[in-house]
């Protein structure tokens, strides 16, 4: 099977109708950029490439206007309506990658932000497929300026980053995964440079704006004066250059195609030459007062249908909410508090959560509360209140202990985000233990940086919550002014000892109580 397809004919003087060809194997390794103003024939060119290469290589089309769904009738492409949940888009993208079938992602029923999100999720899923499914595929993205914009627009920054990241992966890193990007745009200046610059093959059609002509001329290697020829190109005629096309800029005319887009360019339709008196009267007839005023029809954004998992989750949430409401009338507050402390202590004691951020820990806390059917919704502030002593290693302290109650009362004057380290030093001082090292403080604070730990200690001291002073041989002592306690001297450079001091595990000597500073 030959690797070349026929785009049309070379139209340069003296060419004699020589066919214009493109090498698909070379294209898979070098990618393609197509530019042309509206009406220049970009979609026609893409359709010609897809029709000629159908059956030779897998094709994936990102179709924002539904122009390419007709490929399914002639060539068997699977048409995927993008009005689906994120999980469904990811799963179907992986199935397409694995099965090697050609597909069209139809985005026409979504607004611009929805199109960006759906395209980003779909492309990322194909990009992240297992190595065993890195089959060669042409990935055609029409109107690429929508998915790789250079500037912010009427869409969220999250959608922009998702879509731009997917396009960057496709054009910059897709080759090793077998993904060959073909991007088409009306305005080259509106496409992110790190996306457009990765293409080695170019097909430039009719263009009128100076900035777009200048960029096209730079890519083709022609001088600025010669770029005026882009304004004279006919519809369906392109300047071709690249390893999969020609080594020198060559003008080609695209041949006809077998399929047609669902929407076509508007044709001239003359109005009626003679309007009868009855027709005029019908148009200008009085409108009844009760008649509703007609509204111009607009394409509404149809929300994605909920997946089976979403529906089951909603049913489960309603069921749990009913049970929680019934249980809230029967569970005493002391029992609920004890259960919450136990959940937080188990979360902190898990080694996998040593450096997890607070949001992840709260999500785990919320799930555990629902799983154990604890009444009341999980509260973020309540979780922070319980997390500080648990991270400080005091999750198993006796709540009736008088000294510990003093420490907890003093901690109420400390901001919640700083309370964990305050209680860590208070616990060490109460037990007359050495001052925790920088490595231990870093782990308790959820970081791997001793420098960050020293900064947190300095911040507590500047706020007046603790006082540090040097001991013998550069050891460190931390005093708690509000409690009149202080730790024993400890080496700040000592290694962390999580086996002896991990959160939720009593340190040696917990039974002993230290003397207070007089």
**4-254: which CATH topology?**
Rossmann fold (3.40.50)
Place of tokens 């890195």: 134
Q: How far does the chain reach from its first CA to its final CA, in angstroms? A: 93
| Residue ranges of the chain that CATH labels 3.40.50.300 | 4-254
Predicted pLDDT of residue 489: 92
Task: Read off φ and ψ for residue 295, nearest 5 degrees.
Answer: -115, 135
Place of tokens 């009005």: 83
Rank 103-107, 274-278, 383-387, 450-454 by mean pLDDT and report only the highest: 103-107
Predicted pLDDT of residue 303: 59
Longest Cα–Cα distance of the chain, Å, equals: 110
Q: Which two tokens stand for residue 245?
A: 């096309």
DSSP state of 257: -
DSSP state of 418: G
- The answer to whether the CB of 199 falls within 8 A of the CB of 188 is no
Q: How confident is the model at residue 101 (pLDDT cuts 50, 70, 90)?
A: very high
**Higher pLDDT residue, 516 or 93?**
93
- The answer to whether the CB of 340 falls within 8 A of the CB of 369 is yes
d(CA 393, CA 428) in angstroms, rounded, equals 10
Is the pTM value of this prediction over 0.75?
A: no
**What mean pLDDT, rounded, does the chain reach?**
80
Predicted pLDDT of residue 322: 58
Predicted pLDDT of residue 517: 40
E strand intervals along 167-222: 179-185, 201-204
- The answer to whether the CB of 147 falls within 8 A of the CB of 62 is yes
Q: Give Rg (Cα) of the chain.
A: 34
Q: How confident is the model at residue 402 (pLDDT cuts 50, 70, 90)?
A: confident
Share of the chain above pLDDT 90, in %: 18
Tell me, letter by letter, the H, E, C secondary structure of 230-249.
HHHCCCCEEEEECCCCCCCC
| Cα four-point dihedral sign 238, 244, 250, 255 | negative
d(CA 186, CA 146) in angstroms, rounded, equals 10
* Buried-exposed string 131-150: b where 16+ CB fall within 10 A, e elsewhere: eeeeebbbbbbbbbbbbbbe
Instruction: Cite the DSSP H helix spans in 284-379.
Output: 308-327, 333-349, 358-371
Q: How confident is the model at residue 140 (pLDDT cuts 50, 70, 90)?
A: very high
d(CA 367, CA 258) in angstroms, rounded, equals 55
248: exposed, middle or buried (Cβ count in 10 Å: 0-12, 13-18, 19+)? exposed
Q: How confident is the model at residue 505 (pLDDT cuts 50, 70, 90)?
A: very low
Beta partners for 250? 240
Alpha carbon 21 to chain centroid, angstroms: 38
Predicted pLDDT of residue 335: 79
- Identify the CA nearest to 467 among candidates 451, 444, 484, 490: 484
């Amino acid at each position: 099977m030959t690797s070349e397809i026929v785009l049309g004919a070379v139209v340069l003087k003296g060419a004699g109708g020589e066919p214009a060809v493109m090498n698909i194997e070379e294209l898979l390794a070098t990618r393609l950029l197509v530019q042309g103003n509206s009406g220049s024939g970009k979609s026609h060119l893409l359709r010609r490439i897809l029709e000629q290469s159908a059956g030779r290589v897998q094709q994936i089309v990102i179709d924002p206007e539904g122009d390419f769904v007709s490929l399914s009738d002639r060539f068997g492409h699977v048409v995927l309506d993008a009005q689906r949940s994120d999980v469904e888009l990811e799963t179907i993208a992986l199935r397409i990658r694995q099965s090697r079938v050609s597909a069209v992602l139809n985005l026409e029923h979504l607004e611009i932000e929805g199109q960006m999100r759906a395209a980003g999720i779909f492309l990322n899923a194909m990009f992240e497929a297992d190595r065993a499914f890195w089959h060669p595929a042409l990935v055609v993205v029409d109107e690429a300026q929508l998915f790789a914009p250079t500037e912010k627009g009427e869409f969220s920054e999250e959608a922009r980053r998702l879509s731009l990241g997917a396009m960057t992966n496709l054009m910059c890193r897709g080759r090793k995964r077998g993904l060959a990007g073909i991007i088409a745009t009306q305005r080259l200046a509106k496409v992110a440079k790190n996306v457009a610059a990765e293409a080695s093959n170019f097909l430039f059609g009719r263009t009128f704006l100076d900035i777009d002509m200048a960029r096209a001329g730079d890519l083709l290697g022609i001088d600025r004066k010669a770029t005026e020829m882009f304004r004279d190109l006919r519809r369906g005629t392109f300047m071709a250059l690249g390893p999969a096309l020609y080594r020198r800029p060559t003008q080609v005319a695209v041949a006809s195609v077998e399929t047609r887009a669902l929407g076509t360019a508007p044709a001239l339709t003359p109005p009626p030459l003679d309007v009868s008196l009855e027709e005029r009267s019908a148009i200008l007839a009085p409108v009844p007062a009760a008649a509703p005023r007609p509204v111009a029809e607009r394409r509404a954004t149809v929300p994605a249908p909920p997946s089976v998992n979403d529906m089951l989750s909603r049913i489960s949430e309603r069921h749990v909410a009913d049970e929680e409401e019934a249980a809230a009338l029967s569970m005493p507050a002391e029992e609920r508090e004890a259960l919450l402390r136990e959940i937080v202590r188990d979360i902190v004691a898990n080694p996998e959560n040593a450096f997890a951020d607070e949001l992840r820990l709260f999500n785990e806390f919320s799930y555990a509360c629902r799983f154990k059917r604890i009444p009341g919704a999980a509260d973020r502030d309540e979780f922070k209140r319980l997390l500080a002593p648990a991270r400080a290693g005091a999750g198993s302290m006796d709540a009736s202990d008088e000294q510990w109650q003093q420490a907890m009362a003093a901690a109420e004057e400390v901001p919640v985000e700083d309370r964990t380290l305050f209680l860590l030093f208070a616990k060490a001082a109460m037990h007359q233990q050495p001052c925790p090292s920088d490595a231990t403080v870093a782990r308790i604070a959820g970081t791997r940086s001793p420098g960050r730990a020293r900064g947190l200690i300095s911040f507590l001291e500047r706020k007046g919550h603790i006082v540090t002073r040097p001991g013998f041989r550069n050891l460190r002592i931390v005093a708690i002014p509000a409690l009149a306690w202080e730790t024993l001297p400890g080496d700040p450079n000592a290694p962390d000892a999580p086996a002896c001091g991990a959160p939720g595990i009593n340190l040696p000597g917990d039974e002993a109580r230290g003397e207070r500073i007089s």
